[in-house]
Each structure stands twice: as structure tokens, then as C-alpha cells.
Amino acid sequence: MGTDPGLRSPTVADGRRGYPPAAPYDRIIATCSVRRIPASWLAQTRPGGIIVANLGGDHSSATVRLVVGGDGSAEGRFLPDDAAFIEIEGEEERTRPSIQELADRWIHGEAPVRPARVPEAMEDVQFWFLAQRFLPHVTLFRAEGRPWCLVDHLDLSWARVEESDNGPVVAQGGPQRLWDRLEEADTLWTEGGRPGFERYGLTIDGEGRQRLWLDPPEGPGWDL
């Protein structure tokens, strides 16, 4: 996390908690991916200091440069280049069902089908950076005969797309309609001009609320 002035070598600590003995810092550079900026990093950065961190989810992440305010707030934009780090482990990752458990859910799930629109950008990390806001706990699968499958690893909602004589169809089960949400994300991303990472920003207010936004801070946004 940092270097203690009283020590000759870098200090090893839980990165989520920062390292209070050497705070405050002028800069924090995180070489891991997070889904939210830890409050400890904000508290340990000087007003006017900078946090550079990789923010994202299972399918896409991007690097944000935040300038920290004097009240625990911060704001900044994402850098244009693609970047990815190993995600820092949290409670969600430790309790997540195994890949096999998730796969079993959609392999055996039965539900009515409807025509499906498959986004052209299904394998585009910039599309998924937005799509993750609609599907924050979803894992994407591909398998022979079932081109696209989604499973929410919290409530186990699922969606499975298959080919039919009339084009792709989707079956969906569980509390959510995951493919409906994916299509919503595709509409927003396409009508918004297929935004790259640099069009997003992040605002953290003094009470710790974190909001990802597109284009101006008052534009479309999602709480993290």
C-alpha cells in the first residue's frame, strides 16, 4: 500500500484498509481492481491529493484518476486506455457460488422463450463497462449450442440464448429478467454513441456515496 518513512522497505498490509501510520498521502496508486473506492483510501489522502485506481467488475474495468476534496469527497474521470488488474478479494468474492454451480443453473433451467436481440458488442470491454451497471452481479458464459448465458450469482436469476429457425431466442428464470436488462444497456450504449472509458467519471460525496456517470456529472449515472 505504501512505504512507512520509518522502515527501509515497503509495508505489507490489507490494501482495503490502507496504511494509517504513514498517512496522509499525496498519491495512492492501486495495483488491484475494486468495485468501489474504499473509504480508507479517501480518508488517508491529503486534500488535493490523487487516487489512481482500477474500477470495474467481472467483465470490464477501467482506470479512474480522482482528486480528493477536504471533506472525504473526490471526483475525476476515467483514462481512455483499457487496463485490468486482479480484483481485490472481498466478502462477495468469498461467498460466490462456484462456476459449476452457476453453470448448472442455466443448463437445467426451463422457461418460456421470446425473440432475443444479441448486442453486436457482446465481446467489447467498453460495452461491458456500461452493461455491468445494469448487471452488477452477473457472470457471462459461452458454451456450444448455447451461445450466450447469464447468471446472477446473488439471486441465481439466469438467461440463456439459443438459436432457432427464426433467429436467437432467450429463456429467462429467477427474480430478474437478465437479458431484458442487457438489451437496455445495449440501447443506452448504442444511442449514446458507443462511449469509450474516457466519457465516464466518478463522484464520491462527503457521505461516501459513489456515483459513476456518463459525460457530464449530472448525466446518466449509477450508484456503486
The pLDDT value given to residue 91: 45
- pLDDT over 70 at 97, yes or no: no
Nearest CA among 34, 217, 211, 222 for reference residue 134: 222
Q: At what angle do helices 178-191 and 125-134 cross, to 10 degrees?
A: 130
Give me the phi and psi of 76, to 5 degrees please: 180, 175
| Three cell numbers written together for 121 | 458488442
The pLDDT value given to residue 176: 94
Cα angle, residue 146 at apex, residues 144 and 152 outer, rounded to 5°: 125
**How does pLDDT run across 140-190, given as a tens digit for each residue?**
887 665 578 898 888 888 998 888 899 999 999 989 999 999 999 999 999
* For the chain, percent of residues with pLDDT exceeding 90: 53
| Mean pLDDT computed over 25-39 | 92
Quote the strand ranges of the chain, DSSP E. 25-34, 45-56, 61-68, 74-78, 113-115, 138-143, 146-152, 158-164, 167-173, 200-204, 210-214, 221-223
The pLDDT value given to residue 2: 47
- pLDDT over 70 at 6, yes or no: no
The pLDDT value given to residue 190: 96
Domains of the chain listed by start with CATH number: 15-80+196-223 (3.40.50.150), 95-191 (3.30.160)
Cα angle, residue 52 at apex, residues 50 and 55 outer, rounded to 5°: 135
User: Taking all residues of the chain, what is their mean pLDDT, rounded to a whole number?
Assistant: 86
